[in-house]
C-alpha cells in the first residue's frame, strides 16, 4: 500500500495545468445547535461543564420502542427565527442549517454586502434529510390520497436543500453542494470545502452538517438495527458512555454544526477574527461492511495519518483527538485500535474524548458540532471530557479525559468521523500562527 504524500510534497494544478501553491485555510466563524446548548456559547459551556443533553422522548409515543431516549434541542423555537409561512414550508433540518449559518456569519463578522458573491460558496450535508416530512406525507397519501400530498414535500425532504436554502439566505452565488456520507457527512463537507478554497474555487465557504432524525421512523429504524442504547431508558443522562465497559449502544441527537472557512489571504484582508487553521484532511473507505467497521481500524488510521501528514503534524505533536466515540461496542474498540495505529507509542499519552457522551450522536451533523468543539478547545486551551466513563474496558485503554474537562495547551487537534458504508474522515487543526 503506498504511503500518503508528505505535506511538503502536496501541490495543486490550476486550470491550465500549471502547479500552484495551496492556499492556507482558516476558521473565522462557528454556528451550533445541539442538545447541550443552542448557540456556540451555550454549547461550549455545556461541554466544558460536562452536561448531558439526553432526555426521555416526549414528542411522540415511544412506549413500544426499545430505546425511549434521545438528545433533543433545548430552547429552540422556530418562530423566533422564521415567519409563519417559512416554518410551515421549511423542514427542521433545513431550519437548523440556516440558523447555524446565520450565527457563524455573525461570529465571523462577515459583511455580506462586501463579499464577492461569486467567490462565496456553501457545502452543507445531512445524513438522512427530513424523515418527519416523509412520515407526514406518506400518512397523508394513505389516508387522503395522492392529491393531498403537499407541493412542498420534495423540497422539504431532499438533502441538498439545506445547502440551497443557506445559499439563498446568504446570496452565495459560488459553488453550492452537499455531502452525504452517513455519520462522516459534516466532516467530509468541511474537508471538501477546505479543498475548494485551497484549489482557488472560492474565497469563503460556509460548511458543515445538519440533522433532524429523532422521529418515529428514525428511532425505530436504528432500534431495528440494534444500534441504540436500551439499558438506561430510566436514566437518560447516563446512557451515552463512549469507551466505557458498560456501553450498550449510541443515543440519537439532532442539530447542526456550521463553520465559516476562508483563505488566509481573504480573512486577513477583511480583518476577520481567526479562530484556528485547518491544515489537514484525510478520507478513506474500509470497503468492508455496510455498518460494521473493519476490525483492525486500518482505514480510520490511514485517514488520521493522511490528515497529519498534510498538516505536517508529528505523532508526538497531537494535543487532542476528538473521537467519533459513539458508545457502541464495535466503534469504540476499533477506533481505539485506529488511534494506536496512527499515533504509535504516543497514543496512550494523547488525550482523547468523545463529546457524543453529552450531545448524543448527531449523525450527519456530528462532525460539524465536533469540529466546533475542536476549534473552541484550541481557542480556550480546554479539552472537553468523556462523561459517564466509569467502567474500564480492556479493549479501550487510552486517556479518554474521563468525566471532567482538562486545561492543557492545545496546539494541534484531530477530529474523527466514521460512517456506515465504511466512510472514514479526519480533519487536522492547528492554533493559528502567521
Annotated catalytic residues are: 183, 324, 361
DSSP labels, 306-332: HHHHHTT--GGG--EEE----S-HHHH
Closest to 429 measured CA to CA, from 409, 419, 415: 415
CB 70 within 8 A of CB 57: yes
What is the C-alpha separation between 253 and 212, in angstroms, rounded? Answer: 8
CB 103 within 8 A of CB 39: yes
Residues in the chain, total: 434
Residue 251 neighbours by CB under 8 Å, 6+ apart: 54, 67, 69, 70, 71, 228, 229, 236, 239, 240, 327, 356, 360, 361
Question: What is the rounded end-to-end Cα distance, in angstroms, of the chain?
Answer: 36
What is the C-alpha separation between 350 and 31, in angstroms, rounded? Answer: 28
DSSP secondary-structure letter at 393?
Answer: B
Question: How many C-alpha atoms does 52 have within 13 Å on its Cβ side?
Answer: 22
Amino acid at each position: 500500500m503506498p504511503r500518503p504524500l508528505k505535506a511538503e510534497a502536496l501541490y495543486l494544478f490550476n486550470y491550465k495545468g500549471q502547479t500552484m501553491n495551496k492556499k492556507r485555510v482558516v476558521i473565522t466563524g462557528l454556528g451550533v445547535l445541539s442538545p447541550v446548548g443552542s448557540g456556540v456559547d451555550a454549547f461550549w459551556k455545556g461541554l466544558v461543564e460536562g452536561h448531558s443533553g439526553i432526555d426521555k422522548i416526549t414528542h411522540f409515543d415511544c412506549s413500544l420502542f426499545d430505546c425511549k431516549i434521545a438528545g433533543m434541542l433545548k430552547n429552540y423555537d422556530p418562530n423566533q427565527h422564521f415567519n409563519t409561512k417559512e416554518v410551515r414550508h421549511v423542514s427542521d433540518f433545513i431550519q437548523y442549517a440556516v440558523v447555524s449559518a446565520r450565527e457563524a456569519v455573525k461570529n465571523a463578522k462577515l459583511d455580506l454586502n462586501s463579499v464577492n458573491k461569486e467567490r462565496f460558496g456553501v457545502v452543507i450535508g445531512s445524513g438522512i434529510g427530513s424523515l418527519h416530512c416523509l412520515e407526514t406525507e406518506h400518512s397523508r397519501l394513505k389516508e387522503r390520497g395522492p392529491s393531498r400530498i403537499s407541493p412542498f414535500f420534495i423540497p422539504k425532504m431532499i438533502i441538498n436543500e439545506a445547502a440551497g436554502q443557506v445559499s439563498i439566505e446568504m446570496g452565495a452565488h459560488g459553488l453550492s453542494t452537499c455531502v452525504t456520507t452517513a455519520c462522516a457527512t459534516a466532516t467530509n463537507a468541511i474537508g471538501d470545502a477546505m479543498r475548494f478554497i485551497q484549489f482557488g474555487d472560492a474565497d469563503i465557504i460556509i460548511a458543515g452538517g445538519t440533522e433532524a432524525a429523532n422521529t418515529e421512523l428514525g428511532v425505530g429504524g436504528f432500534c431495528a438495527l440494534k444500534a441504540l442504547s436500551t439499558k438506561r431508558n430510566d436514566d437518560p443522562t447516563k446512557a451515552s458512555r463512549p469507551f466505557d465497559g458498560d456501553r450498550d449502544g449510541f443515543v440519537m441527537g439532532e442539530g447542526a454544526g456550521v463553520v465559516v472557512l476562508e483563505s488566509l489571504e481573504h480573512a486577513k484582508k477583511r480583518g476577520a477574527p481567526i479562530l484556528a487553521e485547518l491544515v489537514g484532511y484525510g478520507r478513506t473507505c474500509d470497503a468492508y461492511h455496510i455498518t460494521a467497521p473493519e476490525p483492525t481500524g486500518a482505514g480510520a488510521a490511514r485517514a488520521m495519518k493522511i490528515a497529519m501528514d498534510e498538516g505536517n503534524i508529528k505523532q508526538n505533536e497531537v494535543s487532542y483527538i476528538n473521537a467519533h466515540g459513539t458508545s457502541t461496542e464495535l466503534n469504540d474498540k476499533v477506533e481505539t485500535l485506529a488511534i494506536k495505529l496512527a499515533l504509535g507509542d504516543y497514543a496512550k499519552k494523547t488525550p482523547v474524548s468523545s463529546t457524543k457522551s453529552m450531545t448524543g450522536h448527531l449523525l450527519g451533523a456530528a462532525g460539524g458540532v465536533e469540529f466546533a468543539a475542536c476549534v473552541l478547545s484550541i481557542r480556550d486551551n480546554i479539552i472537553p471530557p468523556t462523561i459517564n466513563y466509569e467502567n474500564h474496558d480492556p479493549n479501550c485503554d487510552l486517556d479518554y479525559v474521563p468525566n471532567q474537562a482538562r486545561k492543557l495547551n492545545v496546539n494541534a487537534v484531530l477530529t474523527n468521523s466514521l460512517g456506515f458504508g465504511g466512510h472514514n474522515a479526519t480533519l487536522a487543526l492547528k492554533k493559528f500562527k502567521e
